[in-house]
Amino acid sequence: MGPPEVVETHDGEITLQWDPPDYDGGKPIQGYVLEKREPGGRWSKATKEPIKGTEHTVTGLPVGGPFEFRVAAVNKAGPSEMSPPSRVAKAREPIGKLFFHRIPTCHYYTKMT
């Protein structure tokens, strides 16, 4: 299973998605365990319960804090190995999303004779 992909960030939250594993060991996937950490820190669970789908928004993060995530599939056989970590993302509004505005332009025309 590949690393989770950061698809959106906001103040205090990060949304991730991932692909299911190529092979489920012959048992259907029941959910996913998502872990988080600050770069170089210790891994901890990002949710109390397994996640049912392949997308999740982690909330309650410190605003602007950098985090990386990894995921494992869970079925009756137990959890899979953890995925490689995601890229580091900051729990803040995306830079430029609300701050870049189109500047109006003026055109001056002169009459030519």
| pLDDT tens for each residue of 79-94 | 999 999 999 999 998 8
Write down the pLDDT at residue 52: 95
The full set of domains in the chain, from first to last, is 5-90 (2.60.40.10)
How does pLDDT run across 46-69, given as a tens digit for each residue? 999 999 999 999 999 999 999 999
Write down the pLDDT at residue 96: 58
pTM comes to 0.80
Contacts 24+ apart (CB under 8 A), 89-92: 89/6, 89/9, 89/14, 90/9, 90/64, 90/65, 90/66, 91/9, 91/10, 91/11, 91/12, 91/13, 91/14, 91/61, 91/62, 91/63, 91/64, 91/65, 91/67, 92/9, 92/10, 92/11, 92/63, 92/64
pLDDT for 35 beyond 50: yes
